[in-house]
Amino acid sequence: MKALNRKRNKVNIVYTGRFSDSGILSGPELTAKSIFNQHCLKEPSVFIQYYFDGRKYSLIKKLFGRTEKPVLNEVNLNNGKVLTLGIFRIIPELRKIKPDIIHLLTFERFAIIFYLYSLLFRVKIIYNSHGVIQYENKILKKVTGIYRVKDKFCERIFLKYSDKVIFPSVNTLNIAEKYYYFDEESVVILPNGIDNIFFSKKEKTETAKRLRAVIHHKNTLNDSGIKQLFDTLATADIQLDIHIITNTELKLPENDKINFIITGIMGSNELADFYKDKDIFLSLNSYDTFSIATAEAMASGLIPVITSETGISRYIDNAVNGFTFDYHLKTDLLKILNTIIGMRIEQRYDISNAAAQSIDSLTWQNIYEMYEPLYDSMIK
């Protein structure tokens, strides 16, 4: 994209979706918070969300409630606020703000009301599709009944009636095209970003003779291929320590030559420190739209070993800055691990350094700067 003229026009953007202040965020939540914060570093903005927890809030609150919370970004500029609104408060609030653009950063069903507003008042709207919800509900989550119907209806509206749809990878776009028809002229491919803490330069010291691998196991949707890993290594004849970052109880395979170590899910600061003496990062999903976790590990100097079905695979050149393999070719995983274990330490260092360098542009500041020309083009 062309570089922006720094004397750019102000764009009044309202962000929406789900804003979370908790230490451990999902990929979509991290993207929403980071893009909003980056925008607020340059000009004031508002993030609108809903009262999601039905058990916590009354019906009156969910219909007519309004809660305002200021947001301090990374340099403590109080340029942003999060409004949590009941359904019938959203359109009146938008009428007061009069946005040029509405940017839906995460999939939330309540956001259907922003498309009604867009239709009535001809406001441009952007949707970040972090994954294909209909595919996830059918194949991965096994969602049934009314929720599946609601999700399908909302996703169809979001994809069809957004002026721009942002996908984190071509993989995601290809799956979406199997389920929906939408205007390809509206499609933009933009990567996700990484917190700065993972880019801090760390001197990799020689670890123990046994290499140390890391794999995340969050939930059914994002299990990082843990079953495939267990099946592959159950009888493998390799020396390896594997750290599994999870809060889920797992039945570990018995293999005298492989140590499986369970570690609880961590926040960014703790995780970046944890990566200092690790060597390999495993992401073995059959479906992963981008994998911020892989990018974080690469920035920390871990050698990625991931499936080609993972969206971030486009950043990896085999045996140069990591390794990719087809999810269905399970024997390739063991071959790759044997290759890495058999390398001289200098070779591993070269790949580790190349992994970090290949994604050093994926800071949230740089990612947001990819959004700015998009915003400008939509109001010209």
Give the pLDDT band of residue 84 (cuts 50, 70, 90).
very high
Q: What pLDDT is recorded for position 371?
A: 97
Q: What pLDDT is recorded for position 6?
A: 44
Average pLDDT over residues 201-229: 73
Give the pLDDT band of residue 2 (cuts 50, 70, 90).
very low
Q: How long is the chain?
A: 380
Q: How many CB atoms lie within 10 A of CB 281?
A: 27
Beta strands in the chain (DSSP E): 13-16, 45-50, 66-71, 80-85, 101-104, 124-128, 164-167, 187-189, 211-217, 240-246, 258-263, 280-283, 303-307, 323-325
| 220 HSE (CA, 13 A, CB side) | 8
How, if at all, do strands 323-325 and 303-307 pair? parallel
pLDDT for 336 beyond 80:
yes
Least confident of 15-24, 177-186, 203-212: 203-212
Q: What pLDDT is recorded for position 224?
A: 65
Q: What pLDDT is recorded for position 73?
A: 63
Residues of the chain with pLDDT > 90, as a percent, come to 73
pLDDT for 47 beyond 70:
yes
Average pLDDT over residues 231-251: 90
In contact, 36 and 47? CB cutoff 8 Å: yes
Q: What pLDDT is recorded for position 120?
A: 96
Q: What pLDDT is recorded for position 218?
A: 79
Q: What pLDDT is recorded for position 65?
A: 96
Q: What pLDDT is recorded for position 85?
A: 97
pLDDT for 200 beyond 80:
no
pLDDT for 203 beyond 80:
no
Q: What pLDDT is recorded for position 328?
A: 84
Least confident of 176-190, 196-210, 224-238: 196-210
Q: What pLDDT is recorded for position 221?
A: 57
Average pLDDT over residues 43-50: 95
pLDDT for 125 beyond 90:
yes
- Rounded to an integer, what distance in angstroms lies between the CA atom of residue 319 and that of residue 303? 10
Mean pLDDT of all residues in the chain?
90
Q: What pLDDT is recorded for position 291?
A: 92
Contacts 24+ apart (CB under 8 A), 132-136: 132/172, 132/175, 132/176, 132/179, 133/107, 134/179, 134/180, 135/175, 135/178, 135/179, 135/287, 136/221, 136/287
The tens digit of pLDDT for each residue in 136-150 reads 998 888 788 899 999
The tens digit of pLDDT for each residue in 269-323 reads 999 999 999 999 999 988 889 999 999 999 999 999 999 999 999 999 999 999 9
Give the pLDDT band of residue 1 (cuts 50, 70, 90).
very low
- Rounded to an integer, what distance in angstroms lies between the CA atom of residue 79 and that of residue 71? 7
Q: What pLDDT is recorded for position 177?
A: 95
pLDDT for 22 beyond 50:
yes
